[in-house]
Amino acid sequence: MATHDHHLNGDTITNSTTNLAKKPKLSPSSTFITASEIQSEFSHHDPSIARINNGSFGCCPASIVKAQQLLQLQFLRQPDHFYFNHLRPGILESRTFIKQLINAHHVDEVSIVDNATTAAAIVLQRTAWAFAEGRFDKGDVAIMLHYAYGAVKKSIEAYVTRAGGCVIEVQLPFPVNSNDEIVHEFRKALEKGKEHGRRRVRLAVIDHITSMPSVVIPVKELVGICREEGVDQVFVDAAHGIGCTDVDMQDIGADFYTSNLHKWFFCPPSVAFLYCRKSPSCLDLHHPVVSHEYGNGLAVESAWIGTRDYSAQLVVPKVLEFANRFEGGIDGIKKRNHDNVVEMGQMLAKAWGTNLGCPPEMCATMIMVGLPASLGISSELDTMKLRTHLRDNFGVEVPIYYRVPKDEEVGVITGYARISYQVYNKVEEYTKFRDAVNQLVCDGFTCALLSK
Amino acid sequence: HFYVSTLRPNLLRSRALIQTLINAHHIDEVSLVDNATTAAAIVLQQIGRRFAHHRNDTVIMFRCAFPAVKKSIQAYVTRAGASVVEVDLPFPVSSNAEIIAEFRKGLSSAKSDGRKVRLAIIDHITSMPSVVIPVRELVHICREEGVEQVFVDAAHAIGSVSIDVQQIGADFYVSNLYKWFFAPPSVAFLYCRKSNPSSSETHHPVVSHEYGNGLPVESSWIGTRDYTPQLVVPAIMEFVNQFEGGSEGIMRRNHEEVVRMGKMLAEAWGTSLGSPPEMCASMVMVGLPSKLHVLSDDDATRLRSHLRDKHGVEVPIYYRAPKNGEKSESEPRDDHGLITGYARISHQVYNRIEDYYKFRDAINRIILEETSLQGCF
With bands split at pLDDT 50, 70 and 90, how would you rate the model's confidence at A5? very low
Distances (CA, A) of A31 to A26, A251, A326: 10, 34, 9
State the Cα–Cα distance between residues B109 and B130, nearest whole angstrom.
Answer: 25
Q: Residue A170: pLDDT above 80?
A: yes
3-state secondary structure string, B317-333? EEECCCCCCCCCCCCCE
Cα of A121 to nearest chain B Cα, Å: 5
What residues of chain A lie within 8 A of the CB of B52, using their CB?
Answer: 132
Cβ separation B203–A158 shorter than 8 A: yes
Averaged over B79-99, what is the pLDDT? 95
Per the model's pLDDT, the better-predicted residue between B131 and A408 turns out to be B131
Q: Shortest CA distance to B284 belongs to which of B216, B344, B335, B231?
A: B344
Say which of A81, A157, A294 has its CB closest to residue B75: A294
Angle at which helix B135-144 crosses helix B96-111, to 10 degrees, equals 30
Higher pLDDT, A29 or A262: A262
Question: How is residue B290 annotated by DSSP?
Answer: G
CB atoms within 10 A of CB B47: 26
In Å, how far are A171, A355, A373, A404, A413 from A409, measured between CA atoms? Answer: 18, 16, 12, 10, 10
User: In chain A, positions 375-404, which contact chain B (CB-CB < 8 Å)?
Assistant: 388, 391, 397
With H, G, I as helix, E, B as strand and everything else as coil, classify residue A302: helix
Say what the pLDDT of residue A28 is. Answer: 55
For the stretch B183-240, pLDDT in tens is 999 999 999 999 888 878 899 999 999 999 999 999 998 888 898 999 999 999 999 9
**Alpha carbon distance A200, A187 (integer Å):** 15
Of the candidates B1, B3, B35, the beta carbon closest to that of A307 is on B35
pLDDT of A48 over the 80 cut = yes
Complex ipTM over 0.90: no
Sign of the dihedral through C-alpha A333, A336, A342, A343:
negative
Report chain B residues touching chain A, CB-CB < 8 A: 1, 3-4, 34-38, 40-41, 44-45, 52, 67-68, 71-72, 74-76, 79-80, 176, 178, 184-186, 203, 205-209, 211-212, 222-226, 229, 305, 308, 314
Q: How far is A31 from chain B (nearest CA, A)?
A: 33
Is cis: bond before B186, omega within 30 of 0?
yes
Q: First CA to last CA across chain B, in angstroms?
A: 54
* A240 closest CA partner among A51, A438, A422, A15: A422
Q: ∠ CA A253-A255-A258 to the nearest 5 degrees?
A: 95
Q: d(Cα A92, Cα B210) in Å, to the nearest integer? A: 33
Alpha-carbon gap, residue A53 to A422, rounded angstroms: 9
Indicate yes or no: CB of A157 within 8 angstroms of CB of B211: yes
- Please judge whether B225 and A269 are an interchain contact, meaning their C-beta atoms are less than 8 angstroms apart: yes
Q: Is the confidence at residue A6, as pLDDT, over 50?
A: no
Size of interface A-B (CB pairs under 8 A): 132
pTM of the model: 0.90
Name the pLDDT band for B53 (thresholds 50, 70, 90): low
The chain-wide mean pLDDT, for chain B, equals 93
Q: What average pLDDT score do residues B311-322 get?
A: 96
Verify whether the Cβ–Cβ distance A114 to B225 is below 8 Å: yes
Of A371, A381, A53, the residue nearest B3 (C-alpha): A53
pLDDT of residue B375: 53
HSE (CB half, 13 Å, CA atoms) of A9? 3
If residue A417 lies in a helix (H) or strand (E), which one and from where to where? Answer: strand A415-420
Average pLDDT score over chain A: 91
Q: Quick one: pLDDT band at residue A268, thresholds 50, 70, 90?
A: very high
Residue A82 sits at the chain B interface (C-beta within 8 Å): no
B319 pLDDT higher than 60: yes
Contact list in A for residue B67 (CB cut-off 8 A) is 292
pLDDT at A2: 39
Please determine, for residue A21, whether its predicted confidence score (pLDDT) is greater than 50.
Answer: no
Q: Are strands A233-237 and A256-260 parallel, antiparallel or unpaired?
A: parallel
The number of C-alpha atoms within 13 Å of B299 and in the hemisphere containing its C-beta is: 19
Of A185-199, B137-151, B282-296, give the lowest mean pLDDT range: A185-199
Residue A43 and residue A80: Cα distance in Å, rounded? 35
What end-to-end distance do the CA atoms of chain A give, in Å? 39
